[in-house]
Amino acid sequence: GWGSLVNPTGVAAWPGSGRLVVAHDGKKRIHVFGPSGFCLRRFGERGEASNDIKYPLDVTVTSDGHVVVTDGGDCSVKAFDFEGRGVLAVREGFCLPWGLDATPEGEVILTDSEAGALYRLAADFQRGELKKCQRIRARLVSPRAVAVCQTSGAVVVIEHLKDRGPSKGSTRVKIFSAEMDLIGQTDSFGLNLVFPSRIYATAVAFDKEGRVIVTDVCSQAVICLGKPEEFPIFNPLISHGLSYPVGLTYTANNSLVVLDGGDHSVKVYSS
């Protein structure tokens, strides 16, 4: 079950089912789990072949059931079918592709942390054909985690800001409309005004109502920041039992799934 994960980096829910997909640093990089935590499939060998995965940073599943992974090891985006066969690898033009999430239309929004950019990728995964890979935002600061609202099409991104001095830096959450207009943002400093402790956000998701949910590794918590129009409110959803939350997703039945890098586990919370 969950116990076989090594330094997990990304988690995604399979659309319309209770299955979960986790990217991690084991011998086979992608594990597909059933609703009870039983591992149904492992694929994505660690290695040098074109369909191998050198270092997975994030994972998502498209509406037609293809698993898409950002590979920091060779700066590519790789897609696999349910059997784990590699169907597409996109390498052109990325500096360090990091976070990704599927849109309701079956496209993929992804961040390039080093290029400071956000891309929209469209492909016919069945045929292994890339249709377009278009830069939709530039001049972001080390964007990493990203999520797409399945109802409104809004996009939320976490930027990692460098601090002057010895501290680890801080994070900023930016929300864009489906048309990629900036509609809300808040940073660690702004959240300090509504919440006493420092927040360092690592993962982000939208819940079914379109609220922005983030993991915070400083307080080892999962926090709701509200809908874009009320942004930011501060409502802790989970404040106990996490050690280093690095991934976040909602399942089809609206359970909240947290990937915990501290004890290499997947934690599922009913809503």
Mean pLDDT, to the nearest integer, of 196-219? 90
pLDDT tens across 101-112, in order? Answer: 999 999 999 999
Amino acid identity for residue 256 in this structure? L
Residue 181's CB is within 10 A of a number of other CB atoms, namely 9
Nearest to 24 by CA among 40, 50, 3: 3
Nearest to 38 by CA among 10, 82, 3: 3
Helix (H) or strand (E) holding 70: strand 67-71
Under 8 Å between Cβ of 158 and 144: yes
Strands 20-23 and 10-13 come out as: antiparallel
Q: Which residue ranges form the domains of the chain, and what is each CATH number?
A: 8-198 (2.120.10.30)
Amino acid identity for residue 42 in this structure? R
DSSP per-residue letters across 167-223: S--EEEEEEE-TT--EEEEEEHHHHHHHSSS---EEEEEE-TTS-EEEEETTTTEEE
pLDDT tens across 130-184, in order? Answer: 999 999 999 999 999 999 999 999 999 999 987 665 566 789 999 999 999 999 8
Under 8 Å between Cβ of 28 and 44: yes
- Take residue 96 and report the two structure tokens written for it: 């360090």
The pLDDT score that the predictor gives to residue 231 is: 82
Distance of CA 190 to the CA centre of its chain: 23
- Does residue 187 have a pLDDT over 80? no
The pTM is what?
Answer: 0.94
Q: What is the mean pLDDT of the chain?
A: 91
